[in-house]
Amino acid sequence: MRTPTWQWTWNLNTVVLLVGLVAGIAAWGATWERVSSNQRINAEKIERIDKRVTSLETTARILDNHELRITAVEEQANDAADAMRSVESAIHGLSSDMRVVREILQRLENRTSRPPP
């Protein structure tokens, strides 16, 4: 009996499996490249958004600082208005006192300017 000799033959199943394997590896590589490029693009977008948020936070802090300053100025204006009101009331009181003193002085002058009876 003779031992069978090995022969190299391509059958349809082998060709289909090898083509499928090569196509699967190529599709996996293309998918990996897309995922990697999208990750890089997303990382750039996240960095850009982070910069924008940082600038917005800075602007918000500036606005808060302005709000605090405006509030302080309003309080000072109210305090100044109250002080002016108290000064005005004091001046009005002094003016009425001045009228009374003037009337008293005029009465005294009228008494001294008249000849005694």
| pLDDT attached to residue 116 | 58
pTM (two decimals): 0.45
Q: Amino acid identity, residue 49?
A: I
What's the average model confidence in pLDDT over 99-116? 84
33 is written with which tokens? 């490249």
Query: So what's the pLDDT on residue 110?
Result: 86
Q: Which two tokens stand for residue 63?
A: 């606005």
pLDDT, tens only, 9-33: 888 998 999 999 999 999 999 999 9
Distances (CA, A) of 81 to 70, 71, 93: 16, 15, 18
Q: Which amino acid is at 107?
A: R
Q: Which comes out higher in pLDDT, residue 30 or 63?
A: 30
